[in-house]
Amino acid sequence: MATVHSPRIKAKHQRLVLLVIALAVVLLAGLLAAWALRSQASYFYVPSEIVAKPPEADRFVRLGGMVEKGSLKTAPDGVTIRFVVGDGKSRVPVSFSGIVPSLFVEGSGVVAEGRMQPGGTFKADNLLAKHDENYVPREMQNMTQAQARKVVAETQ
């Protein structure tokens, strides 16, 4: 009798093992995702926020605002630019090495992706300007109500 029953019990047991493995993997994935999102998501700041409460050093964040008129300067190497991003309350100096998006101009909105440097300069790895006449980076649409109006009025 036992020899007849044992394979079936074993099969059920093995099914359970698979189920436990599957559940463990799913649980692990969920926990990992939650933990990683808390530490790796990049937050969006406007200049007054980033000045009032700067992010930890080396944390990848996004900074959005208006490029101040007359602030754009090219460094002697010909590929690094410096400019100031403001939101009417605070101003943050930004440096960027690379080819700027074609619609990046003074007095226009920009989202810079990068890190805050110890000296208070924001080092951008990437600049997002408006893509075309129909598209404004989403964050720009609700920076603050006043700015939103300004950017939208300018881009449409």
Partner 1 sequence: MIAELGLAALWLAAALAVLQLVGGALALTARGSALGDLVRPVAVVQGLLALVAFAALIRVFAVTDLSVRLVALNSHSMKPLVFKIAAAWGNHEGSMLLWVTVMGLAGGFVALVERRLPERTMLATLAGQAFVSLGFYAFLLIASNPFERLATPPAEGNGLNPLLQDLGLAFHPPTLYLGYVGLSVAFSFAIGALVTREVGPAFARAMRPWVLGAWIFLTLGITAGSYWAYYELGWGGWWFWDPVENASLMPWLAATALLHSCGVLAARNALRAWTIMLGVVAFSMSMVGTFLVRSGILTSVHAFAVDPQRGTFILALLAINIGGALTLFGLRAGTVTEGERFAVVSREGALVMNNVLLSAILGIVLFGTLYPLAAEAMGAKVSVGPPYFNPVSALFFVPMLVVLAVGPLLRWRQDKLDRIGKGLALPAAMVVVALLAVLMIGGAGLLPYLGLALGAGLAVASFLPLRDRNLRRTPLPIWGMVIAHFGVAVALLGMASESAYSVERLVALRVGESTAVGPWSVRLASVDPVAGPNWTALEGKLEVRYAGGAVEVARPQARNFWAPAQQTSESSLLTRWNGQLYSVLGEEASDNRWQVRLWWKPFVTLIWLGGMLIALGGVLAVIGHVLSDWRRIVARSRIADRRESQGR
**In the stretch 43-72, what mask flags binding to partner 1 with x, by CB under 8 A?**
xx---------------x-x----------
Query: What is the dihedral angle through the alpha carbons of 53, 84, 100, 108, rounded to the nearest 10 degrees?
Result: 100
57 vs 117: CA distance, rounded Å: 7
Smallest distance, partner 1 to C-beta of residue 123, A: 14
Query: Of 9, 28, 146, 152, which one interacts with partner 1 (CB under 8 A)?
Result: 28
Task: Choose the binding region for partner 1 from 39-47, 83-91, 114-122, 147-155 (rule: CB under 8 A).
Answer: 39-47
CA nearest neighbour of 115 among 65, 49, 42: 42
Smallest distance, partner 1 to C-beta of residue 55, A: 12
Task: Choose the binding region for partner 1 from 35-43, 83-91, 114-122, 146-154 (rule: CB under 8 A).
Answer: 35-43
123 vs 6: CA distance, rounded Å: 67
Which tokens is 153 given?
């009025």
Contacts with partner 1 in 104-123 (CB under 8 A)? none
Task: Choose the binding region for partner 1 from 77-85, 86-94, 115-123, 148-156 (rule: CB under 8 A).
Answer: 77-85
Q: Provide the 3-class DSSP secondary structure of residue 146.
A: helix
Per rule CB under 8 A, is residue 4 in the interface with partner 1? no
Q: Please check if 131 is assigned to a binding site.
A: yes
Query: Of 1, 56, 132, 153, which one interacts with partner 1 (CB under 8 A)?
Result: 132
Amino acid at 79: V
Burial 65-77 (b: 16+ CB within 10 A, else e): bbbeeebbeeeee
CB 47 within 8 A of CB 65: yes
